[in-house]
């Protein structure tokens, strides 16, 4: 947020005038098993991103030290083993995991007033979400 505020000021704008948006990894389901299942594709995606040298500053900023290991594994073609290097706490920090009925509250708790718009990046969710479930989450975010 300090950088965004700095950029806004340099453009002659106030931070309150800047609409902030992000896309988040969503890991949800109706059961804990479905949520855990939904964590695996996110873990895989993180391992892929973290294996590239350009993500080194991001990893360093978060004190995550597995980038070089993942990069070496990618060079050896060990793609299937790479997700095993990414711990649960990293997956849970990068994405939001919650039962579908609590997902809106979990997103609001994580992001608060830092963002005004959110998109969901739900890859391999534990269960297909119905239109009604998506509508419920969206309504919960508006409250």
| pLDDT (tens digit per residue) in 16-56 | 888 889 999 999 988 999 999 999 999 999 999 999 999 99
Share of the chain above pLDDT 70, in %: 97
- pTM, two decimals, is 0.84
- Residue 67 near residue 51 (C-beta atoms within 8 A): yes
Phi, psi of 99 (to 5 degrees): -60, 150
- Residue 20 near residue 4 (C-beta atoms within 8 A): yes
SS3 state of residue 11: coil
Which residues sit opposite 98 in a β-bridge?
A: 28
């Amino acid at each position: 947020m300090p950088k965004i505020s700095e950029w806004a000021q340099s453009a002659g704008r106030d931070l309150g005038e800047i609409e902030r948006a992000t896309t988040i990894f969503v890991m949800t389901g109706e059961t804990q098993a479905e949520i855990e299942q939904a964590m695996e594709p996110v873990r895989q995606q993180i391992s892929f991103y973290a294996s590239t040298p350009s993500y080194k500053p991001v990893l360093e900023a978060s004190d995550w030290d597995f980038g070089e290991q993942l990069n070496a594994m990618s060079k050896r073609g060990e793609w299937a083993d790479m997700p095993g290097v990414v711990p649960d706490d990293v997956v849970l920090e990068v994405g939001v995991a919650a039962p579908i009925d609590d997902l809106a509250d979990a997103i609001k708790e994580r992001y608060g007033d830092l963002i005004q718009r959110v998109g969901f990046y739900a890859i391999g969710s534990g269960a297909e979400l119905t239109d009604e479930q998506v509508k419920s989450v969206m309504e919960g975010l508006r409250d």
